[in-house]
Each structure stands twice: as C-alpha cells, then as structure tokens.
Structure 1
Amino acid sequence: PRQTSPARVECFVHSEMYYVEVLLEAPTGHVLDCKVAHQAEALSCPELTEVLQKGDFVEFTKHLEGLSAIYQINADKKNKTKAYLALHALEIDLSSLAELQNHQINDINNLVHKSPVGILEPRKGGHPMRLTYFVPPYDLIDVASKSCLPLNVEVILEKKLGTSATVCIESSSSHRLQHESLINTLKTPEGKNLPQFSALTNLNSTQLPACFVLRLQTPLVTSIDILRKIRADTSIEFNYELIHKRESLIHLIAKQMLEMHLPNLN
C-alpha cells in the first residue's frame, strides 16, 4: 500500500505482465477506483471497482485469473506483450463488425443467428469478450412466471441466455497474428457501410507461438462430417479418439438438453 494523501491509499496487485491498482479512501477503506495496466497507462475498470466495493473477492480472483490467462503462452515477455496486443487488436475489429451490423440489422433474430458476430459483449476486466450466436426458443421460457421472455439484446445479456463463445488467445504452434486493426469501412454507392479487410503483412502482424480461439461456453454436439469439413478448411486437427466414442446425434442432443434444462423444471 502507498498513501498518496491523508485521504487516499493506493494498493497494487502486480504480475510480470500487468498490474491492478486499487484506490482506497482512508481511513474507511472504501474503494474509490480500480485500474488495470497492461503495456500502457492504467485505465479505470468499472467492473473491478464494483466487485471490490461489494467485497466479492471470489469474483475479483476470477478477474485476476482471466487477466493472467491472456499471457499463458510459451514465450518470453516481449512476445507475451505482442500476444496481448494481438488479442486487443482482434477485439477492436470484432467490436467494429458488431457496430456495423447493429446499424444494418434491425431484426433481433437475424442479429443473433445470421450476423457476423452475433451479440457481442465486450471484455470486462478479466472476463473475455463473449459472442452469443444462438438462442433456442426454450431459453426464453420463464418457468417461474409461466411466461415467455422477450427476445432482445438486454434480456440476452442480463439473463445470460443462449449459446456463446469467448474470444481468447492460447499457446500453440507458430501463427501470424495481427497486432493492429485489419478492418476499414467502405461506403457503397447505396450508402451502406461495409467492412474491408486488410491482408496480413509484416507491418500489421507478427509471428507468434499462439493462436486465437473461440472457447465454447458448453460442449457443442456436432457430427463427424462437420468436424472433417472444419479440418479441411482450417487444417486444424481434432482428437481421433472422438470418432471411436461417437454416439447418435439425436441421442447426444437430447442428453445435453436434459442436463441443461431438467434442473430448471423440477
């Protein structure tokens, strides 16, 4: 702790790659602000401030674990810094896509299920960016009130409805990853704004022992044929043991739905 004035005390949580700064009111200990610094100036983080004001240290620990997870790649400090910049650049581009689609897609069903990124929830402290790409009809059933919830962005985010994936980076073989935005907005003669993507070059990207990943909220039931198509398009290998453990697709879907929703019906 460091007392910067008779009325204020600063506390720090340090790691090799980032630090969290907590500003306290003296002598009450009331949390005034919480900031996170990666490679630049510390920026206020309202989510962490709120968590500490509530005294929810379990949630605070989850945020710290999430911040540390950004740097869990097999590399030196310099390349770990580049990995953070790569993830940050990707988040900027995904946010740009979300902003473009939100101005052009008015139907909420199309926004969730047929847009480039679905419903985007920005990074909040140590919690990664989240993309909700599917909301099944039964998620909208409110058993307690015996009514249906409206399908809108606010309800989806507040109730954490649907199926989502978080945007992360993790250690892997070498890949070329962006370290700056690759999206420019192109205005068409009809007045629409469309994204234009730049190719990866030595100026806007870096070779890193890492890759971007979409981490699913829950395991996704899929078919072996779809896995093979994903492998053909991306060159990403999958665990061949899955083929020997395969089950009927209908059986897997029914099993997953029961596990997810049966507790809510009892």
Structure 2
Amino acid sequence: MEAKSEGGPVSMKKTKTLMSDLKSKYADKSWNETFQLVRRCMEKTKGEGRVCEPIAQCLQKINEALNVCSLTAMVSRLEMIAKQRGLGSHMSPTETVCYLTADLFYIEVVLLRGGRVEDVRVAHHGEAPVSSPSLLQLLRMKKFQEFSLKLDDLASFYIISGDSDVKIKIYSCLRHLETDLFKISHLPRSLRESDLHVDLIMNGRIGNVQPGKEGTPMTVEYYISPSDVLSRSSTGEVSVGQVALVTAGSSGASHRLQRESLISSPPQVDSFGFPVFQPLTESCSESLPATFLLKLQPPLPMLIPFIDKMGKITDGVIAEKPQQVEPLPHLLMKTSATLNAKISWTHGAQFTVPLPDSEYHSYVFPGAVWGRESWKGALVHTVPFTHPGHVPALLDLLRHQSAINVLLASCFSDHSQLTDAGLLCDLRCEVLPESDHCLSVTFSLDDHIHLAVLQVTVVDSHQMSCRLLMPDFVDHKLDDYISRVLMRCMSIPITMRAIRRKLAGRTTRPEPAADPESSAAMESDVISGVSHDPAEDESEASPAGSCVMSVSDHVNTDAVADHSPCASLGVYSHWVTSGLPAELL
C-alpha cells in the first residue's frame, strides 16, 4: 500500500516533467513541423483500420489554426475535409489537382502555387466535370467549414446501400427519370395565371422544374402562396415557394426502375394531353433495391388520408408509416417558422390576428374537435415513387395539402401578448373541422345575437367554394364573391374582413328567391367591393387560346392540354377504378 501511495505522486511528477520536456523540445518548432509530426502519427494508425480520435481532433485543431498559404497546407486541409465526410482523396501525377471521390461523384480542385484555387469541378459518374462557382468561391474565401457542409449535402442526396455497381445503376435510372420529367414539363398547356412564373409553379404538370447544377439534384417548385408571391416581388428572390428535390434512395424491397426514357421524342399524348409511356419491360427496366424520391423542402405536414392516397397513386410504394400523428393545426404550429415555440396545444389554441386599419380578429381552435382521425397528420420529408407518371398526381396532392395548410396557418399569429392582454377584438371566430377537406368559421353578427357560419371546402389547390350560412339569408352571388376573395388571398382573416364589409353595407336581408333588381344591385355591390380592396381584386382570366409553350425541340405542339391530374396515363389506366376521390380522376 505504501509503495502504491508513493508511486502515485512520483508518476504524476514524471508525467509533468515529460510534458515540460516536450514543450521545451518543440517550443522553437514551426506550426508546419508540428503539423507534419501529427500527420506521421496518423499514418501509423492506418494499419489498425481506424484513426485515433484524439490525434484526429488534434490534427483538425492544428489545421484550423494554420493560415492556408501554401500548396501543401491547402492539400492537407482538403484531405482532412474528405476524411471527415467519408470521401476518398488523392493528388494528380502533376500534383496540381486534388481529387475528392465518392461512388457516384468526384470533385476536382485545381490548385496553383501558394495554395490558391484556380477551379473546382463536380463530376457525376459517367459525366464530364462541370465547374462549380459556389464551391470555388468558398475555397477562395477559405470558408472551409461551409465547403465541408456542401460536400456533406452532395453526398446525402444519394444515400443508397449496396456496392458501386448497384449505385451506378440506380444513378443511371435517376438520370432517365429526369429526362422524362423534363419532357412532361415541356408539353403545351393552357395559361391560367397572368404571372408566368406563378402559373408554371401552380399549374404546370411538374411545377417549375430546374435541372441539377453544381452537384445538386433536379428541383421542382410545386406551390407558392400569395404572400410568398408578394415576398418574391419585394425581395427579388428567384424561388420562395415549396420545393421538392428529385433524388433516389434505398428501399427494403426491390422495385422496377427505368433504364431508358419511357416517353418517345416527340412525345405522344392521350386525349387529356398527358404523355403515353412505354411499358416497363425487361428490356427497358431493372429490378433494384431503391425508389425515386421527392425530398420536400421544407417538410410538409400532411393529413393521414392524403398520405394513404399517395400510396395508392404509387401502387403501394410508400414510406414508413408515421409513428406519431397529431391534429393538423398543432402540427402546423410546431413547424411554423414565425410562431413562438412556447405556444401549447393542451386544449387547443387561440390567436389574435392584427389586420390593417387597427382591426383585430380572434381565432380559436378547440383541441377536442380537431382530434378526429380524418384531421390528424404527420410531417412528410420524402415521397417515394417508381415511375415518372406518378409525379403529376403526387404534386397535385402536395399542392392540395399546401392549400389547406396555408388557409389554417393564416389564422395563426405570434402576437400572444395581445391575447393575454384581453384586447377587444373586432371579430371573434371559432375554426372547426367538418368533413374531409372542409372546415367552418363560426362568428357573431353585428347584432351580437345571431351567429353566422362560413363553410370552406378545399376541393383542390385550384378550386375552393365558400358558403355563408346566416338566419333567413341565402345569397349565392355573395357566396361566389367570397370564394373568389379566398382564392385570391388564401387568407381566412382577410376573407372575414371582406365579409364584414359586405354585411355592414347590407340594409335588408334578401329572401332566398331575390327579385331581379335586388340581385342586380348586389352584383353591382360585389363588383364595387372588389375594386376598392387590392387584396380582393380579381385578375382578368387568360384567353382560352392562351398557351404556354416550351422552346424545346421535343414538344408535341399538336394538342393543347387541359389541366388535369396524371391519372389518365394509359400505363396506369387502373387508377380510374382504384377508389381515388373524384378530384384525382
């Protein structure tokens, strides 16, 4: 025991002496010499099959402390980044190009003397390298952390299990899918919006399609709200809507994926204006343990019935069943970028929404009634599919869900202090779920004796109908007006403000069968009301002959297609009897 007690202090003293000797030995050494020593230590650990974690951390700290001002230092930093991201790395025989390699892509970093970077090129398997201005700028500014994150994003686009041959086959299938999606997006169609960019997003069969560039996958912008349109106009951003990345991912089961384009050039279309696909035969497809994916950015809160419909569209190719489902308003609150995270949903929620002219509305979401199964949802990150013909119908569902989400979220506000202060609101409303895709807004009339109900049915992202229910009052022209206002602004509070203004100007309550003079007067009032409020202004409809055409040589210009989901594709004619709702047929 005495020997051990004496040995402790002696060992500690020897350790301190050894550290002191090490410090004095390397006190006059340069950072580069110390750096090379650590690198040699790391090389010795390669025989063990893994790098010693403390040494790796030491090397990383030294790298971050060094000012990269030489070719050797730049190469060392790139090699360290590759190791961190699970990539390979090597130098060209001339030692002027550093390669960062993965199974499906590689990156060329062309170097000059002094560690300066001349060019950065990204190459996917079997394709020529393409310069990447964004990656080049990061390296020239020596923003190595941002560069490393970009590489991580690039590698995460294609998380596919299997050997290199399988990954290469899946990537080849993905490229043929992209070709077909471009062909579908370039088919002629009727113009429905005056803003061509918005029309392409909301009404294009594949939305606004952008090809992959600088190592990023193809993107599809599939929905944009009126508030996003205003934000885009004021900020000049190219894209502020909801986007899906077209990628591929591993699957527990094998699926038949295309090995070539399934659409002829020029495309042949059916009576609905959709392309006719070549059947998936042994010669043009292969069974692989993967699916194509739409990666939603941001992830989309979706109703469980909608998730089930996506499975029917893709013939049962669905992601894992959601483990946790919640009432849709609660899910929207949790994923909102503007709401205070502390807002709870124990018994529902209440919001005070400020409007122009110092007008305030209160919106209550009772927790108990929103708990019904048909209005529960889950957060969807990816949508798996196996055929280009699935995409238009899937996008219609995503747009439909997005429209419902935008309407509900329009009643949210982060002005919780207004609610807590007991502010006197101009209008108090209770938002309730009704049948599928239908909700109601109950509010008090100006006499504070009678209640009125606004029923809102979201048929899809292009069709919404409103019905105002009041005692002894029916006016279909007013219902049509309210529906147009809602479609125009996609905001329940703004629509309720328009209803209050209309009801305030009503002196008598018309009977269900109004005389012609009364109907004409109300119609005139509707038109004047539209012109007074920009939010309620109705844009002119596009001429019936208007047509959006692509300059692509692959476009079939013999047919002008009506807007219709992709359920009419000949290869998926069984959809008509698959039990889908009418709006998808």
C-alpha contact (below 8 Å) 1:63/1:127 kept by paired residues: no
1:82-134 deviations in Å (ceiling 9; x for gaps):
01111222222223333446x97573332111112211222223322221111
Q: Distance in 1 between matches of 2:113 and 2:296?
A: 44
The code of the aligned residue for 1:114 comes to N
Q: Which moved more, 1:211-220 or 1:26-35?
A: 26-35
Aligned to 1:138: 227
In structure 2, the residue corresponding to 1:218 is in which secondary structure? Answer: strand
Distance 2:322 2:330 in 1: 20
Partners of 2:93 and 2:311 in 1: CA distance: 56
Q: In the alignment, is the contact (CA less than 8 A) between 1:23 and 1:34 conserved in 2?
A: yes
Q: 1:39 to 1:162 in 2, by over 3 A?
A: closer
Aligned 1:17-32 pairs, distance under 5 A: 17-24=104-111, 26-32=112-118
* Contact 1:33–1:44, Cα closer than 8 Å, also in 2: no
Deviations 1:216-265, CA, capped at 9 Å, x for gaps = 112322222222222333312652534xx331x34544x267x22358x9
Q: How much does 1:214 deviate?
A: 0.6
Whether the 8 Å contact between 2:122 and 2:215 is mirrored in structure 1 is no
Alignment CA distance shift 1:229-1:194 (3 Å): closer
3-state SS of 1:184 partner: coil
Superposed, which structure 2 residues align to 1:145-224 within 5 Å?
Answer: 149=233, 155=236, 157=238, 160-172=239-251, 173-186=253-266, 195-224=275-304
Deviation of the 1:198 alpha carbon = 2.1
Q: Cα 1:55–1:121, aligned 2, differ >3 Å: closer, same or farther?
A: farther
Match of 1:39 in 2: 125
Correspondence for 1:65: 152
The question of whether the paired residues in 1 share the 8 Å contact of 2:123 and 2:215 is answered with: no
| Residues 20 and 34, structure 1, Cα contact 8 Å, conserved in 2 | yes
Aligned counterparts of 2:329 and 2:246: Cα–Cα separation in 1: 29
SS for the counterpart of 1:260 is: coil
Measured in 2, the distance between the counterparts of 1:135 and 1:196 equals 29
1:114: which partner in 2? 203
The alpha-carbon distance between structure 1 residues 262 and 82, as it changes in their structure 2 partners (threshold 3 A), is: same
Q: Secondary structure at the match of 1:80?
A: helix
Write the letter of the residue equivalent to 2:245.
Answer: T
CA distance in 2, matches of 1:122, 1:211: 20
Instruction: Give the TM-score normalised by the residue count of structure 2.
Output: 0.37
Higher strand share: 1
With over 3 angstroms needed to count, the CA separation of the structure-2 counterparts of 1:86 and 1:38, relative to structure 1, is: same
In structure 1, what is the Cα distance between the partners aligned to 2:267 and 2:247?
A: 31
Q: Kindly provide the amino acid, as one letter, of the partner of residue 129 in structure 1.
A: M
Work out the number of aligned pairs and report it. 242
Which residue number corresponds to residue 145 of structure 1?
none
Map of 2:142 onto structure 1: 55
Tell whether the 8 Å contact from 1:185 to 1:195 is kept in structure 2 after alignment: no
Contact 2:130 2:214 in 1 (8 A): no
Distance 1:88 1:104, change over 3 A: farther
Contact kept in structure 2, 1:186 and 1:196, CA below 8 Å: no
- Describe the shift of the 1:56–1:181 C-alpha distance in structure 2 as closer, same or farther (beyond 3 A): farther
SS at match of 1:227: helix
TM-score between both structures, scaled by the size of structure 1: 0.75
Task: State yes or no: 1:239 paired with 2:321.
Answer: yes
Distance 1:206 1:219 in 2: 30
The one-letter code matched in structure 1 to 2:122 is V
Q: Which residues in structure 2 correspond to 1:239-258 (within 5 Å)?
A: 239=321, 241-242=323-324, 245-247=325-327, 249-253=328-332, 255=333
1:98, 1:156 → 2: CA distance?
Answer: 22
Residue 23 of structure 1 deviates from its aligned partner by: 1.2
Counterpart secondary structure, 1:58: helix
- Unaligned segments of structure 2, at least 5 residues: 1-90, 341-413, 416-585
> Quick one: which of 74, 77, 80 aligns to 2:161?
74
CA RMSD after TM alignment: 3.3
Any conservation in 2 of the 1:166–1:215 contact (CA below 8 Å)? yes
CA distance in 1, matches of 2:234, 2:297: 22
How many Å separate the matches in 2 of 1:167 and 1:137? 25
Percent identity reads: 33
Letter in 2 for 1:43: P
- 1:92 & 1:186 partners in 2: Cα distance? 13
Q: Which has the larger radius of gyration?
A: 2
Looking at structure 2, the residues matched to 167 and 178 of structure 1 have their Cα atoms a distance apart, in angstroms, of 15
Q: Distance in 1 between matches of 2:298 and 2:167?
A: 28
Q: Which consecutive unaligned segments of at least 5 residues does structure 1 have?
A: 143-147
Amino acid at match of 1:166: L
* Larger helix percent: 2
